[in-house]
């Protein structure tokens, strides 16, 4: 499976002083990925969604909104050193969800081998398995910080789904998981017990509301024994007023400001080796506000990464 050619990046502002992500992201190839501090990887797929579909259109919408965002962060300065590998042609794959996860994992392994930090633009949550599994083959302990309203620890019944990735990853050797922003009345007791019994950590949206940066620090502390950290963002962690364009929007979520500050804090940890944004579904969106939130989340994460590269 070869990457489709990345889209051409260009800014949208007529002001020559406006440096936007459209000006600083460069199209690249897998052979040259190591020339960049971070590389975007599009994963247009929603064949495993339990609820409403539409996440296959996420990568294009996130790129479009990111291109028009300014590249400057007041504390960290301008973001730079970002490449775009293009999209994986997942629609050409045959077989079920497990086959897709396996084929995509083969490709993400090549990205990790190049040494650049991958930023996966999803796509549904089932591909978290493909994005994390190559890390489990390393002689190192791996933990995940998942910003999500749900735990995604369901048992695969008739095969994998967008609700099973962390059950699959624990079975494959994942060391631990910290879920940040989990929503009350969105998870069955059985799955909450499973995660706690597996040594995982659950930090609710209420806890985020009492202190976002402190909650991010708590999540990092919960993974203190891990050599490497992967960060996952399911956009439904945001309140439905901020992110209506997701598979399962519900009230009681965190704010964009809370999310952005936590992403910057987590991304500044030198153990972070990968990031994904999943479940942004443009066909379900309201005036592109979910795609804008997802794009800004990528920008804030990258600004955190730039603080230590």
pLDDT digits (tens, 9 = 90+) for 77-94: 999 999 999 999 999 999
Question: Within the chain, which residues score under 50 in pLDDT?
Answer: none
Q: Per this entry, what is the length of the chain?
A: 309
Residue holding tokens 């990968």?
274
Contacts of 227 (CB under 8 A, 6+ apart): 140, 141, 142, 271
Which residue in 275, 3, 45, 283 sits closest to 160, CA to CA? 45
* Residue 158: per-residue pLDDT: 86
Bond from prior residue into 171 cis (ω within 30 degrees of 0): no
- Do 234 and 180 meet the contact criterion of CB atoms below 8 Å apart? no
Q: How far apart are the first and last CA of the chain?
A: 30
CA dihedral 296, 298, 304, 308 (to 10 degrees): -150
Question: What's domain 21-306's superfamily in CATH?
Answer: Ureohydrolase domain (3.40.800.10)
CB 306 within 8 A of CB 298: no
Half-sphere exposure of residue 30: CA atoms within 13 angstroms, side-chain side: 15
Question: What is the pLDDT, as a whole number, of residue 133?
Answer: 97
Q: Please tell me the distance from the alpha carbon of residue 125 to that of residue 136, in angstroms, as a whole number.
A: 18
Residue 240 confidence (pLDDT): 97
């Amino acid at each position: 499976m070869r990457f489709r050619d990345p889209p051409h990046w260009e800014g949208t502002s007529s002001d020559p002083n406006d440096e936007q992500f459209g000006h600083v992201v460069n199209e690249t190839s897998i052979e040259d990925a190591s020339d960049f501090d971070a590389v975007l990887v599009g994963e247009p797929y929603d064949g495993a969604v339990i609820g409403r579909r539409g996440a296959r259109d996420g990568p294009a919408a996130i790129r479009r909104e990111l291109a028009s965002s300014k590249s400057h962060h007041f504390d960290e300065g301008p973001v730079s050193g970002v490449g775009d590998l293009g999209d994986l042609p997942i629609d050409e794959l045959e077989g079920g969800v497990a086959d897709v996860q396996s084929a995509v994992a083969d490709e993400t392994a090549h990205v990790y081998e190049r040494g650049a930090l991958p930023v996966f633009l999803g796509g549904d949550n089932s591909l978290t398995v493909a994005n994390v599994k190559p890390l489990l083959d390393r002689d190192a302990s791996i933990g995940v910080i998942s910003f999500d309203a749900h735990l995604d620890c369901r048992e695969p019944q008739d095969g994998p789904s967008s609700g099973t990735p962390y059950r699959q990853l624990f079975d494959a050797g994942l060391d631990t998981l910290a879920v940040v922003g989990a929503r009350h009345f969105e998870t069955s007791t059985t799955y909450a017990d499973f995660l706690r019994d597996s040594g995982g950590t659950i930090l609710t949206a209420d806890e985020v509301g009492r202190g976002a940066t402190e909650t991010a620090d708590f999540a990092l502390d919960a993974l203190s024994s891990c050599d490497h950290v992967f960060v996952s963002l399911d956009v439904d962690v945001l309140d439905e007023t901020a992110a209506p364009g997701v598979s399962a929007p519900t009230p009681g979520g965190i704010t964009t400001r809370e999310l952005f500050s936590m992403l910057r804090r987590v991304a500044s940890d030198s153990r972070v080796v990968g990031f994904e944004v999943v479940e942004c579904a443009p066909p379900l969106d309201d005036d592109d506000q979910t795609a804008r939130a997802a794009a800004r989340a990528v920008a804030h994460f990258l600004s955190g990464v730039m603080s230590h590269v």
